[in-house]
Amino acid sequence: MMKNIILLLALVFSFSCKTNQTIGQQNINKKAESYNNQAQEYLFERNYEAAINALENAIKIEPEYLRAHFNLAIIYQNQYKNYQKAIAIYEQIESFDATNPSVSFNKGMSYFNLQELDEAKKTMIIYLNQSTNNQKGIRQANQVLKNIEFSKKALQKPLDIEYKNLGAPINTPKNEYFPSLTSDNEMIYFTVKDNKSNYAAEDIYFSKFENGSWQAVQKINSSINTNANEGAHCISSGGNYLLFASDNYKYGNEGRFDIYLAKKTGDKFRNPINLGKNINSRYWDSQPVLSADSKQLFFVSKQKNGLGGSDIYVSTLNSEGKFGPAENLGNTINTSFDEQRPYLHPDGKTLYFASGGHAGIGGADLYKSTLQEDGSWSKPENLGYPINTSGDEFGIFVSATGNTAYISSDRTGGFGGQDIYSFNLPTSLQPELVTYIKGNVTAKKTNEALKANIKIYDLKTGTLYKSLSSDEINGSFLTTIVSNKNYAFETLAKGYLPFSENVSIQKLKNNEAFVFNIELEKIAVGKEFTLNNIFFETNAFTLLDISKIELNYLVDFLKNNENTKIEIGGHTDDVGSDESNLNLSENRAKSVYNFLLEKGISTSRITYKGYGETKPLYENNSDENRAKNRRTSFKVL
pLDDT digits (tens, 9 = 90+) for 263-286: 999 989 999 999 999 999 999 999
Q: Please tell me the predicted confidence (pLDDT) of residue 15.
A: 39
The mean pLDDT value for 605-634 works out to: 93
Residue 21 pLDDT > 80: no
The mean pLDDT value for 594-623 works out to: 95
Residue 357 pLDDT > 70: yes
The mean pLDDT value for 613-625 works out to: 92
Local confidence band at 102 (pLDDT 50, 70, 90 cut-offs): very high
What 3-state DSSP class applies to 534? Answer: coil
Q: Please tell me the predicted confidence (pLDDT) of residue 32.
A: 94
Across 64-68, 103-107, 220-224, 615-619, least confident range: 220-224
Q: Please tell me the predicted confidence (pLDDT) of residue 509.
A: 66
DSSP-assigned letters across all residues of 258-290? EEEEEEEETTEEPPPEE--TTT--SSBEEEEEE
Q: Please tell me the predicted confidence (pLDDT) of residue 256.
A: 82
Q: Please tell me the predicted confidence (pLDDT) of residue 8.
A: 40
The mean pLDDT value for 132-161 works out to: 93
DSSP state of 348: S
The mean pLDDT value for 594-604 works out to: 95
Q: Please tell me the predicted confidence (pLDDT) of residue 605.
A: 96
Local confidence band at 351 (pLDDT 50, 70, 90 cut-offs): very high
Residue 87 pLDDT > 50: yes
Q: Please tell me the predicted confidence (pLDDT) of residue 164.
A: 95
Q: Please tell me the predicted confidence (pLDDT) of residue 115.
A: 92
Length of the chain: 637
Residue type, 306: G
Local confidence band at 413 (pLDDT 50, 70, 90 cut-offs): confident
Local confidence band at 22 (pLDDT 50, 70, 90 cut-offs): very low
CA angle 176, 162, 234 (to 5 degrees): 35
Residue 439 pLDDT > 90: yes
Q: Please tell me the predicted confidence (pLDDT) of residue 508.
A: 61
129, 108 contact by CB (below 8 A): no
440, 452 contact by CB (below 8 A): no
569, 614 contact by CB (below 8 A): no
Local confidence band at 5 (pLDDT 50, 70, 90 cut-offs): very low
Q: Please tell me the predicted confidence (pLDDT) of residue 412.
A: 77
Local confidence band at 184 (pLDDT 50, 70, 90 cut-offs): very high
Q: Please tell me the predicted confidence (pLDDT) of residue 507.
A: 66
Local confidence band at 155 (pLDDT 50, 70, 90 cut-offs): very high
Q: Please tell me the predicted confidence (pLDDT) of residue 510.
A: 63
Across 441-450, 469-478, 481-490, least confident range: 481-490
* Chain mean position to CA 487: 24
Across 13-17, 146-150, 300-304, 519-523, least confident range: 13-17
Of 310, 309, 308, 312, the closest CA to residue 298 belongs to 312
Contacts (Cβ under 8 Å, ≥6 apart) of 201: 193, 226, 227, 228, 229, 230
In degrees rounded to 5, what are phi and psi of residue 35? -60, -40
Q: Please tell me the predicted confidence (pLDDT) of residue 367.
A: 97
Distance (Å, whole) CA 258 – CA 274:
7
pLDDT digits (tens, 9 = 90+) for 114-124: 999 999 999 99
CA angle 485, 486, 490 (to 5 degrees): 130
Distance (Å, whole) CA 536 – CA 543:
5
Specify whether the backbone of 363 is left (phi greater than 0), alpha (psi in -120 to 50) or beta: alpha
Across 180-184, 193-197, 392-396, 500-504, least confident range: 193-197
Local confidence band at 111 (pLDDT 50, 70, 90 cut-offs): very high
Q: For the chain, what is the mean pLDDT?
A: 90
588, 569 contact by CB (below 8 A): no
Q: Please tell me the predicted confidence (pLDDT) of residue 4.
A: 40
The mean pLDDT value for 319-334 works out to: 93
Helices (H) and strands (E) in the chain, counts: 11, 33
Percent of the chain clearing pLDDT 90 (strictly above): 71
The mean pLDDT value for 102-115 works out to: 95
Percent of the chain clearing pLDDT 70 (strictly above): 94
